[in-house]
Amino acid sequence: MKILPLLTAAVFVTTLNLGSLASAQGVVPGSESTLLLATTQKFLVPDVFARTGNGEFVLDEDGKKTLVPFTSYTTVKGETLTYVEEEGYKVVTRKYGVKELLTDLLEAGGYFPDGETKIAGWSLKCVQGNGTREVYLVKKGVTPVKVTNVVNVDFGEGPPVGKLITKVTGPPTGFYEKGTVTGSFKSQGYIDIGVSFSGVLLFNCSGNADLTSKAVLPPVTDVEVGNELPSLVILTTVKGTGLRGNGGAIEGSFSLDGTASLNSPVLVPDVSVYPNFGDE
C-alpha cells in the first residue's frame, strides 16, 4: 500500500470550491452547523402619566393611570397660572434567542409541519454548499423546512492563518481506500443575522467573529488512483460577539446587542437532500 500526501492550496479560498468529480455526478457535498443566538432587545417605552388640560390624571377603563411619552397641562393657584410639560421614557429589556425565534415561527404558522404544537427537538441549521447558504428548521426524523426567507445568516473571514494537510491511501493501481485531513485555519471576520416576520418582528444585527475552519474530504473509494480528488468541504465554526443592531416589533422599536454562533459543523454528503436548497 502506498501513501500519497497532498498539501492543500496555499490560498484558502480555493478549498471552498467543489470538485469537478462531485459536480459531474450531480452530488454537491456541503456542511451543516447549528445556529445559536442570544440577544437583548431594549425598548424605550413611555414613562409619563397622561393628564387632562387642567392636570387631572387620565385613567383607563380599569381606573388606572395611563402612560404616554408626553403630556402638558396647566394649574392655577391663587393668582398664579403654571404651565407644565412632561416628557419621559424608560428602558424595558427582553431576551431574544433561538428559543424565542422558534416560538415565533411556530406561532406565525406556515413554517413548522402541520399539526406541530411544540418547539421541543427543533433547531435552526445553517446549510452550505456550492456557494449557497440556507437556513432550515431541523428535527430528527422530520423533513427539514427551509426558512431562509425569515432567518438570514451571513459571515465572512479575514486573512486566514494555518494549514490543511490532505492524505489519501491506496494501491499502486485501482481505487483509493481512504482520505484524511488534518490542520485548521483561524481568522477574524464578521457575522450578520437578519430576522423578518412581516408585521410581527424585524431586526438586523452584526458583530465581530472568530472563525475556525477545519475540513473533510468527501469519500474517495470511487476515485481511481492518480485521478483528481474531490475538493475539501470546509467546516467553519463561527463565534460572533459584540453584536449590535436595531429593529421593530409589535411592542415598538428597539435596539439590541448580544452574541451569535454557528457551532458543531458537520459534513453533508449531498446538500440536495434539503428541500428547495438553492432555489429562489
CB of 256 within 8 A of CB of 39?
yes
Cα–Cα distances (Å) from 115 to 17, 102, 109, 111, in that order, read 40, 15, 10, 11
Q: pLDDT under 70 in the chain at which residues?
A: 1-25
Beta-carbon contacts of 62 under 8 Å, excluding residues fewer than 6 positions away, are none
Q: Quote the pLDDT of residue 134.
A: 97
Q: What burial letters (b/e) apply to 229-238, b meaning 16+ CB within 10 Å? A: bbbbbbbbbb
Q: What is the pLDDT of residues 56-93, one digit of tens each?
A: 999 999 999 999 999 999 998 898 999 999 999 999 99
Q: What is the pLDDT of residue 219?
A: 87
Taking the whole predicted model, whether its pTM rises above 0.85 is answered as: no
Q: Is 178 helix (H, G, I), strand (E, B) or coil?
A: strand
CA 80 – CA 51 distance, rounded (Å): 19
CA angle 180, 270, 211 (to 5 degrees): 60
Name the residue ranges covered by the structural domains of the chain.
2-44+91-273, 48-87
Residue type, 237: T
CB-count exposure of residue 108 (10 Å: 0-12, 13-18, 19+): middle
The pLDDT value given to residue 231: 87
